[in-house]
Chain A
């Protein structure tokens, strides 16, 4: 006999699914802005291994020559990104869900086991609650990154009126550099996240959509309550 078990609360799912398109659009409009001055690269000395971004990337995506639109979109959507993020953090604190999300002292060692396991090494998975150690670390880190994106973004947006903030993140040029790499961080997060969602399979994805998992009931008498819960 199976039963429904709540996995993700309604609020968590709303915050998640609102954030996904908004953050995507923030990255897109950010690229429209970055195109107008694109100095960053990976390289050593005079050797450039990868320039952000090569011409083929601009040609492929067609994001060139749209600075004005990019800025407008960025400064409009930033409101939603910020408000959604702040609401999520407040909700996490008030609901107590932070206990399941924040890394614990043991999380960092366990996360290594999770990573090795996921890469195919024969390492047993440590016991876990709602989120495993690697998830605790990455889902907390992504929220911290969101906060840093807001701070560095404001430092670039109002370096005169918020000069103290711009100074706090290392000045105007550093703020732009940090803001850019945070965006690249989201792209990396997205790639790993999608990979893990695919690996975890259908039931896991379904739980982010519906909030519920179908699990083996420990005892046949309980399912009524869970099935009627909303």
Chain B
């Protein structure tokens, strides 16, 4: 626009007009961007695609730059132990029949192995007192005892540690989690049968639960009935309800 002979007042008016056009365009762009990010959002439903895509990007950043087996979560003295709230019973609708329980393990490539609780309890027992962190924002210092998932895998599923993912589900399939194998094999990830010095109570996942302190509680599946190793990202209960698949801390 030619600005010869414009008085300063006219020049100011021109710049002000342009400023408001810019502000308006910015506001339209911001609203459009917000709508695009949130398009198709349903409470408790699937996460909109653009949001999911960035969570995937964040996961790749975290896995390539932050995650390490040598990064251990903080451990606490026994005096710090609190009372862990039972915060979900998905997949535990039926009463557990301990005698009927067994663990089905699908190895990488397909073969299936059936184990009982004594097979697992024979693995080296590890205790840890960690801050169990719920995705809701609270956390409780809790003691768990069990076998390292890496020891379990080395003993019963040798070769499967090369799989990209680990899937776990309750016996009835009502609750299920997908894990990246690196997190599952982290030295503080346990298949636990004891909590705060006692065998697991039903509501905390008897007879065997996952304790994976490098992830939020939603990944710490209770009453495991099935474990599988594979190359495709497994279905995940809370991911299907809008949460991050990785959920890594």
A residues near B, CB below 8 A?
1-4, 17, 21, 25, 33-34, 36-37, 39, 65-69, 71-73, 75-76, 79, 157-163, 166-167, 172-173, 176, 206, 209-212, 214, 217, 223, 226-228
Contact = CB atoms under 8 A, between A and B. Distances in A.
A212 B138 CA distance: 49
Contacts of A209: 16, 19-20, 22-23
14 contacts: A34-B137, A65-B44, A73-B37, A73-B38, A76-B51, A158-B249, A160-B72, A163-B74, A172-B133, A206-B19, A210-B18, A210-B19, A211-B15, A214-B12
Interface in B150-184: none
B52 A161 contact: no
B55 A68 contact: no
Contacts of A65: 43-44
B28 to A, nearest CB: 12
Interface residues of B, number: 53
B124 interface: no
A158 B137 contact: no
A210 B58 contact: no
A67 B66 contact: no
Interface in B44-58: 44, 47, 50-52, 54-55, 58
Contacts of B54: 72, 75-76, 79
Contacts of B44: 65, 68
Contacts of B23: 17, 209
Given A160-B249, A161-B66, A227 B133 contact: no
Given A37-B137, A37-B138, A72-B55, A214 B8 contact: yes
Contacts of B238: 68
A46 to B, nearest CB: 21
A227 B136 contact: no
B237 interface: no
Contacts of B11: 4, 227
B241 A68 contact: yes
B112 interface: no
Contacts of A161: 62, 66-68, 71, 214, 248-249
Given A68-B242, A159-B73, A159-B249, A36 B137 contact: yes
Given A76-B37, A210-B18, 16 more contacts: A1-B8, A33-B137, A34-B137, A68-B238, A68-B241, A69-B47, A72-B54, A72-B242, A75-B58, A158-B66, A161-B214, A172-B131, A176-B137, A209-B16, A214-B8, A227-B11
